[in-house]
Amino acid sequence: MILIKGSRVLDPASGTDSRADLVIEDGVIKEICPPDTFGGRAEADYDQVIDGTGLVTAPGLVDVHVHFRDPGLTYKEDIHSGAAAAAKGGFTTVVCMANTKPLADNEETLRYILEEGKKTGIHVLSCAAVSKGFKGEELTDMEGLLAAGAAGFTDDGIPLMDGPFVLKAMEEAARLDTVISFHEEDKAFIRENGINHGAVSDQLGIYGSPSLAEDVLVARDCMIALETGARIDVQHISSGYSVELVRLAKKLGADVWAEVTPHHFTLTENAVLEYGTLAKMNPPLRTELDRQMLIAGLKDGTIDMIATDHAPHSREEKDKPLTEAPSGIIGLETALSLGIEHLVKAGHLTLVELMEKMSLNPARLYKLDCGRIHEGAPADLVIFNENETWTADRFVSKASNTPFLGKTMTGKVKYTICGGKVVYQDQTSIS
């Protein structure tokens, strides 16, 4: 048994925010007790006692958008290093994208990812591809892939451009009661990806990627979702106008969910001038107005989730010229801190609301049994100090491609518990 004594316990499902003792046994939360009562037992009766004084205990974080590059690109990341990075960041569940090599458009590759994931200590789920070969022409065997364990479906990285194909995919997703996640960038409007079309791209002498590329596909897919009743996820939303489109779609009754990354609600296109390729991602960082509209979307519930789009690349790849380097940054180990600093301490969200975006709602999207703290619930928990500072200079991930490298962060994970087992412990924590 594990006792977490006297911590501030947050449950986003009930809105609870109060001090309590938690007793963990057989992988579940057995008891939630008044603080310092120890569940009616002596501390010596427990296998491990975690002193939660000054710490916050919340449901383990859930990330619905990660790239672990396994199989095929394991020099960037693999399932085990990615899962370790997730655990350090407080995540107990992650959903991998399908753009592996080979693609996860078949049961064999999907099963490999899931089986390796079972060896990591956290819950590693995976989407399967919507289209065979990511060509956007022929549906995968969605029913068979679901039976093999797919969490949902996405061609993330390759936008689906054919409207009738998208309609067919959503009709099938609605029939199967599953999720399709969409990377919304119409390549017809993009000349150089990863950099916003605007003042910074003008300064760099390139055209870049306008928000229009995102907006037109978000509008299309919101309306198809409304027509079909499909449950869809608008991935890594970056445009303020796209937030408005999602807001309208929800008002009309569409089952549309939206995710935003920490880098999109903390940085603007100006970061490209300071950090170069480390600030290059798809969709790109946009204007301060876009950033403020993203935050407004988080505050009013238009944006349901915070997801990292954890996208590791090698140093050699990111050292290429701006227009040649791959897009994407890592994010699992810095996400919670960025949420605390830029959303909670900035006065936009409460800690409970942040946990709703980082745990409860992602679990709801995929109908997972997590994201809540109550007696009998799985003991998937993160314990953190919301005020402790640390330097983002040593990553468990194989990669370090992030503009936050070397930055001082506020909010530090002390323990991550998954299935009742401690899968990460900060070296400075005392058990």
Mean per-residue pLDDT for 216-236?
A: 98
Q: How far apart are CA 265 and CA 243, in angstroms?
A: 12
Confidence tier at 187 by pLDDT (50, 70, 90): very high
Cβ(53)–Cβ(6) below 8 Å: yes
Q: How far apart are CA 149 and CA 111, in angstroms?
A: 7
Instruction: Give the CATH class of 2-57+376-425.
Output: mainly beta
- What's the pLDDT at 431? 44
Q: How far apart are CA 340 and CA 1, in angstroms?
A: 30
Phi, psi of 315 (to 5 degrees): -60, -40
- What's the pLDDT at 197? 98
For domain 60-365, give the fold.
TIM Barrel (3.20.20)
Mean per-residue pLDDT for 133-146?
A: 98
HSE-CB for 291 with a 13 A CA cutoff: 18
Q: Strand ranges (DSSP E) for 98-234?
A: 123-126, 153-154, 179-182, 231-234
HSE-CB for 276 with a 13 A CA cutoff: 13
Q: Residues of 190-209 as b/e, b for ≥16 C-beta within 10 angstroms?
A: bebbbbbbbebbeeeeeebb
Cβ(296)–Cβ(349) below 8 Å: no
Strands 2-11 and 16-25, bridge-based pairing: antiparallel
What are the catalytic residues? 309
Mean per-residue pLDDT for 34-49?
A: 94
Domain map (residue ranges) of the chain: 2-57+376-425, 60-365
Give the tokens for residue 242: 């796209």
Q: How far apart are CA 79 and CA 400, in angstroms?
A: 16
- What's the pLDDT at 206? 97
Confidence tier at 427 by pLDDT (50, 70, 90): confident
pLDDT digits (tens, 9 = 90+) for 96-116: 999 999 999 999 999 999 999
Mean per-residue pLDDT for 122-130?
A: 98
Give the tokens for residue 52: 């939660």
Residue 250 has pLDDT above 50, yes or no: yes
End-to-end Cα, the chain, rounded Å? 13
Q: How far apart are CA 128 and CA 180, in angstroms?
A: 10
Percent above pLDDT 90 for the chain: 98
Whether residue 102 is preceded by a cis peptide bond, meaning omega within 30 degrees of 0, is yes
Q: How far apart are CA 360 and CA 277, in angstroms?
A: 33
Confidence tier at 429 by pLDDT (50, 70, 90): low
pLDDT digits (tens, 9 = 90+) for 45-71: 999 999 999 999 999 999 999 999 999
Cβ(104)–Cβ(138) below 8 Å: no
Of 428, 387, 394, 392, which Cα lies nearest the Cα of 408?
A: 392
- What's the pLDDT at 428? 77
Mean per-residue pLDDT for 288-309?
A: 98
- Please, what is the average pLDDT of the chain? 97
Strand pairing partners for 234? 182, 258
**C-alpha distance from residue 272 to each of 3, 202, 246, 277 (Å):** 46, 12, 27, 7
